[in-house]
Structures are given as C-alpha cells and as structure tokens.
Amino acid sequence: MSNPVNFTNQFLIAMPGMAGEAFAGTVIYLCEHTENGALGLVINKPIDIKLKSLFEKVDLVLDREDISDNPVFFGGPVQSERGFVLHERLSDDGGHYNSSLKIPGGLEMTTSRDVLEALASGAGPKKVLITLGYSGWGAGQLEDEMGRNNWINVSAEPGIIFDTPVYQRYEKALSLLGIDPRMLSQAAGHA
C-alpha cells in the first residue's frame, strides 16, 4: 500500500479551466491535509473590508499602521462569517494562542480572539493575512480534484503570502514551478 499524499504547507493553484467563480484564479495555502480531508485559505482574493474596520466590528482598536489598511481576504466558502488568521510561526518560547494550528514546516493558523487582541495591542505576529471563511474538502475530495486537473500544487513560499502584491500572487506561485500562466490550457489532458 502506498503512502497517502499530503499537500499540507503547499499552494494549490487553480487551473484555468476551474469551474465556479469562488475558485477561478485562486491560490490557496493548504493548512492541513489528512485522510479525513483538507483545509486551506485563499491568499489572493481580497474583499472590501480593511483590517481596521474588521477590528472595529469585534470591538477592538487596531493601531498598527503597518497592517491597518490591509484587506481582509475571502478564505473560502466554508464558515464565511468566521475569521482565520494566517501568520508567521511564533518562536517556541515566544507565545501561544488558544486555537492555533502549527502547520508542519510552515506557518500557523489561529482562529481565537486572543491573536486579534495581541495584534490590537501592538504585539502579536508581524506578518499576518486575515480571511473570512476557509476552503474545505472532505475525505478524498481534494485528491479527486487533483486527479481531474483542477489544481496544481507546489511547496508554499511565505514571501508570496506576506510580501507579494495581491495581483501578482497567482503568477508568482506558478513561477515556483517555472510556469508562465499564458502557457496553461483550459483543457485537461491525460497520458
């Protein structure tokens, strides 16, 4: 029996033929992939809410000029009213949030209010991407979509998430594979 495929800490890049408005042209950072399914956050679909406004809605004041005008992102269609904070990994002795998923070899994703409180106080992680909602797959669903050529994957690069302008993230993620997006076809082929 072969080892199961694990796409944790990888980018899923939507192929041009991807059906549906929600995922067309998306790059998803995969936070978790197990035999039970997968969870990821879209990193290149900002919505019309700035972080400062989001913090006001949860009765917090965000005084960090470096991030207050950053957009909130559409993380995916699942639990779209819930916030997810993708952030750089804290040092082993540098703190802990109540509901954090430490992504093996990668970042952390936190869903608890304490990370927002830390950010509001000027502490917390320096590099963050905040989404509403997440992208989820049931057991075997992502593997099936990969087999139908809906996605291509590559090891994630945090600089694309935190330091690359939003409009360049799709192309930059593809460039990790040496692919120019103009060379991709909407038709899937199988050998």
The model's pTM: 0.90
- Strand, coil or helix: 145: helix
Q: Which residues of the chain carry a pLDDT beneath 70?
A: 1-3, 19, 91-95, 182-191
E strand spans, 111-179: 128-138, 151-155
Return the number of other C-beta atoms located less than 10 Å from residue 138's C-beta: 10
Cβ atoms of 39 and 31 closer than 8 Å? yes
CA dist., res. 27 & res. 96, Å (int) = 28
Domains of the chain: 10-183 (3.40.1740.10)
Q: What is the pLDDT of residue 189?
A: 52
What would the two tokens of residue 62 be? 């965000």
pLDDT value of residue 98: 83
What confidence tens digit (pLDDT) does each residue in 55-103 have?
999 999 998 888 999 999 999 999 999 999 999 987 654 457 888 889 9
